[in-house]
Structure 1
């Protein structure tokens, strides 16, 4: 026997007013004349429907991130970098979101991890007047957008908790436009701002916390160019714990007598699944096809990536990392404890590499050439196109043969680049655990980012912020303090 399904729902009106109704059009026209629909046009350009019934938080965030033109620094499909719900896999596995939805705190965490600036408020941390002020501010600008977490029941709609962006404000009637991402259910609609506040001022049964709103905007500093952390693989859980919790304990050992010992200590106890984390750290923003002509903008970005890599290699820490890794590689040949990171370029490329190739591109307004090694890597059932920048000092690409059935070669930048960036990204307090004062002072100088060029500082700060966010997600602390300071 066939079971009847639903083709949308009738929008309860009042209290809501359908955006496409005569009254809804009138509200839109008047708001437009008053300049309170500036944010609407960017949002409507990237308006999308959630692909799963419980994906409202992910869809809303993807829509806002795209409206703000924030680069995800990860490939979506083909060569395209684009925020899609499936790209927001940090903080909470997609399977869990599909089954249970996502909490307010984790949407905040996701937005920050994606590189956005976020100010978040639960209703017991704000007021209706403050909320109205922020709505008006973002409605008259396309540089920020408001995401609301509210209960549908207050609007007499079916369902419970929901996320959607606010698309505009009508001052005379004090109404807001909700661009509902569940378009299969309800169309965009206007509701009284006071009623939306009441809908946000409800308690989520699962957390015991109130709902609220967040302001999402672009970071002042540029997004990551070379390095980004990802929890696409579950290895990030053990890796985040190791880097944030275990490393300080290991460094407190009496055996740490010099810089080399300090760096070796970090390397020697790396989690066995650290290889998955490394792969995503060295992945650059897109796979460059060597047979495809690059635009001037793409060439310019490659030149910028080259500059970041060069700055990493000019740090004092890089020299120590290079020397330490060279020494540790001798242990690899004897199959001791560093065996799982013996061939870091191989690890960076993944378990199997196909179609490996390299191309040289001339940077914009420069005689310098930038070399990019690219290919497709496979790990179990997952395939991912990656591309890695090779600096001018590394023109001789490192070709290593995998110890597996693939029998293929990988070309990647030196492991020293990756580890130097990771060590710089660790919280400064990590190194205070070293008991030898002289060693502690020396390495504190090496890992300090205050003297680094602004370009590299931005890259490291982005990594550091991501590492903190991943750790807070792991510890389920994202609900406690929405404005926890970055490290």
Structure 2
């Protein structure tokens, strides 16, 4: 079917001006990319996993689930890490521990409140403490936490971070939790977040982050220097009680 449209007599230059006006807002309102230049999704680059053993990725990726509220990144990360360390339960009647079940096992009312929808989320020291409580509650005898909390963006600190990442990558017998400013890596939301380290590619000096914020992201790679900057950036005042909080790495190790 042909549709014939009537036009009013043209005013010289009117169509050009109208076209420019229409095009201007469209360009300025173009949506931002899902990830910024410092984050590469695993679906785009998985060469490291194809060429290396990557024990942490295979141990933890299946157990890292979406955070069950917008404030539950810490319980999601801890649950995923501890489930990965314990592995798939041996018996048919045994369940894989959920985030809600982990909160019940730990029975810390503060963690439950902070992780509820609208909760404040956790500070770094609270993440360390809650992780220790979860290790105890799940009877993971022999496990403990060690902490690397960077204080400077310098070569010595970066070497410390790399050394820990390399040690963690050697086997699936330990796990690394990451407390960081998510926006430094993704180029979007500017705030504190917790996830699990999934792999370290020492040759390329980059880290795979197993995201629990799965409403928005999938696992992505980021350069180690960017990771350090993300751990060092203080939380802004818009995050209330978390203002000024900086991040670090929580090593769950025997």
**TM-score, normalising length: structure 1:** 0.38
Matches within 5 A, 1:189-338: 189-205=220-236, 206=242, 208-218=244-254
Aligned residue-pair number: 198
- Cα distance change on mapping 1:184 and 1:209 into 2, 3 Å: closer
Runs of at least 5 residues in structure 2 that lack an aligned partner in the other structure: 1-31, 136-142, 237-241
Q: Residue 124 of structure 1 is aligned with which of 125, 131, 151?
A: 151
Partner residue of 1:49?
A: 66
Runs of at least 5 residues in structure 1 that lack an aligned partner in the other structure: 1-8, 72-78, 219-487
Q: Answer yes or no: is 1:142 the counterpart of 2:172.
A: yes
- Cα distance per residue 1:429-460 (max 9 Å; x no partner): xxxxxxxxxxxxxxxxxxxxxxxxxxxxxxxx
Task: Give the whole-Å Cα distance in 2 for the aligned partners of 1:200 and 1:47.
Answer: 21
Q: Answer yes or no: is 1:15 the counterpart of 2:9.
A: no
Contact 1:28–1:170 (CA<8 Å) still a contact in 2? no
RMSD: 2.5
Q: Residue 39 of structure 1 is aligned with which of 34, 56, 62?
A: 56
Task: Give the whole-Å Cα distance in 1 for the aligned partners of 2:159 and 2:173.
Answer: 21
Q: Secondary structure at the match of 2:61?
A: helix
Task: Give the whole-Å Cα distance in 1 for the aligned partners of 2:64 and 2:181.
Answer: 21
Q: Secondary structure at the match of 2:110?
A: coil
Q: Secondary structure at the match of 2:222?
A: strand
Partner residue of 1:253?
A: none
Contact 1:164–1:178 (CA<8 Å) still a contact in 2? yes
Contact 2:198–2:207 (CA<8 Å) still a contact in 1? yes
- Cα distance per residue 1:390-440 (max 9 Å; x no partner): xxxxxxxxxxxxxxxxxxxxxxxxxxxxxxxxxxxxxxxxxxxxxxxxxxx
- Cα distance change on mapping 1:190 and 1:47 into 2, 3 Å: same
Partner residue of 2:77?
A: 60
**TM-score, normalising length: structure 2:** 0.70
TM superposition shift of 1:10: 4.6
- Cα distance change on mapping 1:123 and 1:157 into 2, 3 Å: same
Partner residue of 2:115?
A: 97
Partner residue of 1:164?
A: 195
- Cα distance change on mapping 1:10 and 1:27 into 2, 3 Å: farther
Partner residue of 1:84?
A: 98
Q: Which has the larger radius of gyration?
A: 1
TM superposition shift of 1:172: 2.0
Name which structure has the greater RCO, CA cutoff 8 Å, separation 6+: 2
TM superposition shift of 1:177: 0.4
Contact 2:36–2:188 (CA<8 Å) still a contact in 1? no
